[in-house]
């Protein structure tokens, strides 16, 4: 499963950090990056609140990706649940 964080680089390493193993692919570069990914690979999309990742999930589904999931609530919900993160700015 590929975990794709669609935030900007400063957010990826900012106060919320990112999911362990997440790959940074800012939303504006998603189409280009996704052109190299297998269409059947499971994708989990993450952003700060779930809004941008929902937009990314719709775009990837429309592009033919078959297993696309949006992390509802994004990193805000993940952080609130006190789940593990990497790269958090101190």
Residue 37 counted as domain residue: yes
pTM of the entire predicted model: 0.95
Other residues' Cβ atoms within 10 Å of the Cβ of residue 12: 21
Number of domains in the chain: 1
Residue 68 counted as domain residue: yes
Question: φ, ψ for residue 62 (rounded to 5)?
Answer: -65, -25
pLDDT of amino acid 88 = 84
Distance, first Cα to last Cα, the chain:
29
Residue 88 counted as domain residue: no
Whether 90 shows a pLDDT value over 70: the answer reads: no
Residue 8 counted as domain residue: yes
Whether 36 shows a pLDDT value over 80: the answer reads: yes
The residues carrying an active-site annotation are 47
Average pLDDT in the 5-27 region? Answer: 97
Higher pLDDT: 88 or 54? It is: 54
């Amino acid at each position: 499963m590929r975990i794709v964080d669609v935030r900007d680089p400063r957010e990826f390493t900012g106060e919320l950090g990112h999911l362990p193993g997440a790959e940074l692919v800012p939303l504006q570069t998603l189409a280009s990056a996704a052109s190299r990914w297998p269409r059947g690979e499971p994708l989990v999309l993450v952003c700060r609140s779930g809004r941008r990742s929902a937009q990314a999930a719709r775009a990837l589904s429309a592009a033919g990706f078959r297993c696309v999931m949006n992390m509802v609530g994004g990193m805000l919900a993940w952080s609130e649940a006190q789940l593990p993160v990497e790269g958090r700015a101190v």
